Amino acid sequence: MKENSPVFLDDDQPHDECGVVGIFAPNENVASMAFFGLFALQHRGQEAAGIAVANGFTIRLHKDMGLVSQVFNAGNMEPLQGHYAIGHTRYSTTGSSSLHNAQPFMVETQHGPIAVAHNGNLVNSAVLRQELLQRGVGLTSTSDSEVIIMMLAGARGSTWNERIRSVMKKWVGAYSLVILTRDGVYVVRDPWGFRPLSVGLLPGGGHAAASESCALQTLGCVAIREVKPGEIITLSKSALTVHQAIPPNPRQAACVFEFVYFSRPDSTWNGKSVHEVRQHLGRQLAIESPVEADVVIPIPDSAIPGAIGFSEQSGIPYNIGFVKNRYIGRTFIQPTETLRQQGVALKFNPLPATVRDRRVVIIDDSIVRGNTTGPLIRLLREAGAAEIHMRITSPPILHPCFMGVDMGTYEELIAHRLSVDEIREQAGADSLAYLSLEGMMSAVGSTNGYCTACFSGKYPVPVQRQLEKASFEPQENGNND
């Protein structure tokens, strides 16, 4: 077990890679603004957080392991003075969970200091990393995000815009970036549009960018729009400028799992309300897999809109069946062995009054490893449920993600190993049904422009299937913790 690991209960959800923010706000405390922007993105990563601030001459940085509220305080934020800031909250994908992989990364270059925060994953990072090592470039971490910053440090061009554009042509995969120089913030999105990134106008002047629109709304932004694939947007005293650095890829690949689970329901992704799409997923699931039952309950929190949609479409009443302790999975204190055996009971308590002697439809957004589905169903049985029918608002996850989401390996994915009926039997449900891939895309409202590789196995870019999260860690011990 890694020291200071922030999660000791695997809640069987895929873990998103990161959240990023970028800010230019003259006459404002940009470090404080970055803090609250990251706070709104805490759901995207709980392992580490960092903020870098520039004042026109230098960049100051503070980062550490932990939640945003644990990493920052008045004392360590006081030195972060300036007009420009970027921030990052991390869940590790490529690179283990340790401080040397925490972001933002910062280096000195011949053009001045730069710092980078990255959301995503480069599928050609192994090749790029080897090229850097052959050129004599020293690497201090195991993260592909350091590959990005070192390539930027050595890029050719007379401006940062030109340098960024020159290396974008070499990157393959998912990257939503905020790049800090001593006098500007550059907001960059890959040409496939894998991961979300939005920009908005701050009420006091200046602009902000963030992984999700909900963070920009937290900062009071107006005129929010998504950064287009292949764009570089510059936030500086000379105002916001937009440059289409490289053409959007003909095959767009927005991550459909942002709708299923990752994004906050109050965000907009790819022009659509996340909350509304999740309700559509639930309605479509009720059409495809109806069941006679007395109550519909969600697994909190991301499955709530889907359960509402399922209830509305089916006519089966909706109610709360589980109460969730939202903080148990984010403590640094390890449980005793007795408490560890309690498993999901530490995180979820059933409401017997809702389920006793009733036929229950339990809605969840996904099943990844399958290690909590059975315990949750047992909790409902113990609470007196007469029947339990499991319904999932996405298709079976059959393939790992190589674009910046930790979904495990083929061996870990239960739907890759077992049939739907075998999963049902192992979990102890009376019935189990997933939403079809066609039904999911119908609920999203489009069959084109999305990456569905974790369901279909059709990756929009060639991937190294052997690439794993800790693939760059020293082989003798597997990580640097």
DSSP 83: S
C-alpha 444/C-alpha 465 separation (Å) is 28
Catalytic residue among 18, 214, 221, 451: 18
Burial class (CB in 10 A: 0-12, 13-18, 19+), 259: buried
Contact 216, 88 (CB under 8 A): no
- Which candidate, 254, 261, 207, places its Cα nearest to that of 445? 254
Beta carbons within 8 Å of 319's beta carbon, 6+ residues apart: 295, 296, 297, 354
Q: What share of the chain is helix, strand, coil (3-state, %, to 5)?
A: 30, 25, 45
70: phi then psi, degrees, rounded to nearest 5: -90, -30
- Are 339 and 318 in contact by the 8 Å Cβ rule? The answer is no
Q: In which element (H, E) is residue 309 found?
A: helix 304-314
Helix axis angle for 437-444 and 274-288, nearest 10°, is 140
Tell me whether residue 221 is one of the annotated catalytic residues. no
Task: Please tell me the distance from the alpha carbon of residue 329 to that of residue 11, in angstroms, as a whole number.
Answer: 8
Q: Is 230 left (phi over 0), alpha (psi -120 to 50) or beta?
A: left
CA distances from 361 to 208, 210, 313, 322, 371 (A): 42, 36, 13, 13, 19
- According to DSSP, the residues that pair with 63 across neighbouring strands are 50
**Do residues 392 and 299 lie in contact, with contact meaning Cβ atoms separated by under 8 Å?**
no
Closest CA to 152 of 134, 174, 173, 128: 128
Positions marked active-site:
18
